[in-house]
Amino acid sequence: MPISDRLRLGVNIDHVATVRNARGGDTPDPLRAAKLAEEAGADGITAHLREDRRHISDRDIDALMAGLGVPLNFEMAATDEMMQIALRHKPHAVCIVPEKREERTTEGGLEVAREENRMAHFIAPLREAGCRVSIFIAADPAQIEAAARIGAEVIELHTGAYCDAHAEERYVARDVELQSLREMSAYAHSLGLEVHAGHGLTYDTVGPVAVFPEVRELNIGHFLIGEAIFCGLKPAIAQMRELMDAARSETLKTSG
């Protein structure tokens, strides 16, 4: 699998829906945010339809599928309900994520190695329907190997531990996590998997991940929606795009 020069940006618009749902009604509209993200340079839109519908709703998925000009990455838990919704819409990509009702956001990666047989059977209909199947996992070789064995085309490496360590100024731990992400990106690529990464990335933490030549896409949401309060959504995304491109440019100079 060739390494791509361009690093794609997927913008997660879940928390536009969180703000809307805090009061009810129709505003702010996640589809409007998605279209602004597209104008600002996003290569795709990510939306997580949770079991409890705490942010994105079924109606949002309907609107995104009908109104987007870029691919939708549909994040979902490995449940029968979500399977039926994904098969009805057939989005460009489906990312299987762990989901616990009590968590505020997706914490940790999916346990694939211990549920390999179940996950292999679960993703088969999605692949048959033409969806690119991605598995959201920790930077762990056992999980990567299991993802490859079950037939996933893509993995998304969980960057949360790296970002948390940076935010808490635990710089030794941060560097350990970053090195693990670096090594596991290369390992996954060697197994023929397309590598994505995301969770918790900010302007301060995106560059060191964006330089990994094997990473093809970053998915970023909460930070961008937060920054949009202060500077607007398009400028927030444009700055992230600029930082990603600058980091990838350094990678190309080094490899050249």
Instruction: Tell me the catalytic residues.
Output: 48, 75, 199
Whether 61 and 85 have beta carbons less than 8 Å apart is answered as: yes
Task: Name residue 255's amino acid.
Answer: S
Report the candidate in 97, 187, 189 with the shortest Cα–Cα distance to residue 142. Answer: 187
Which two tokens mark 63? 């609107």
Whether 198 and 218 have beta carbons less than 8 Å apart is answered as: yes
Task: Name residue 103's amino acid.
Answer: E
Report the candidate in 238, 243, 214, 213 with the shortest Cα–Cα distance to residue 228. Answer: 238
Task: Name residue 120's amino acid.
Answer: A
